[in-house]
Amino acid sequence: MGYEPHQDESAQLPSMSDAELLEYFLYRVFETDEIWSIRTGGQPVSRALDDRKTLPVWPYKRYAEEAAVGDWEGLPAIADSVDYFTYQTLDKAARQGLSIEIMPRREQVGCLITPQRLFSMLENMMEARDYTVGD
């Protein structure tokens, strides 16, 4: 559908901690039922980040498109439903040994999380319809 973030949210993103980014991501994807990734050949792109490979994801198309620079320039941002992402994409990412990178920005690394931990959080939210990131 292509929902848009609130303007004041975008201004706050650069100063958000990893925990704040993760919480923001979780709440927004459940509001919109969309999880965005950059795609090539129909598949989400991954990237090498230090000693690991990550799968970058965003809660809004605009954020994904803003991050599509360098090697990603010109590649489309495509959304999956939360259900599809949770039960298909995260399983595939886990089998490939990828970390999930929540909301990387042009020059900033996103919040890194294992597919298994994100799966648990998303599944808990689906079951409870209310979840906080705190330990």
pTM score, whole prediction: 0.88
**What residue ranges do the domains of the chain occupy?**
15-126
- Residue 78 and residue 64 in contact, taking contact as beta carbons nearer than 8 Å: no
Superfamily of domain 15-126: Uncharacterised protein PF11572, DUF3234 (3.40.1350.90)
Q: What is the pLDDT of residue 2?
A: 59
- Residue 3 and residue 32 in contact, taking contact as beta carbons nearer than 8 Å: yes
Q: Which residues contact 45 (CB under 8 A, 6 or more apart)?
A: 37, 38, 39, 56, 72, 75
Q: Within its chain, how far is the Cα of 57 from the centroid?
A: 3
For the chain, the residue count is 135
pLDDT band at 70 (very low <50, low <70, confident <90, very high): confident
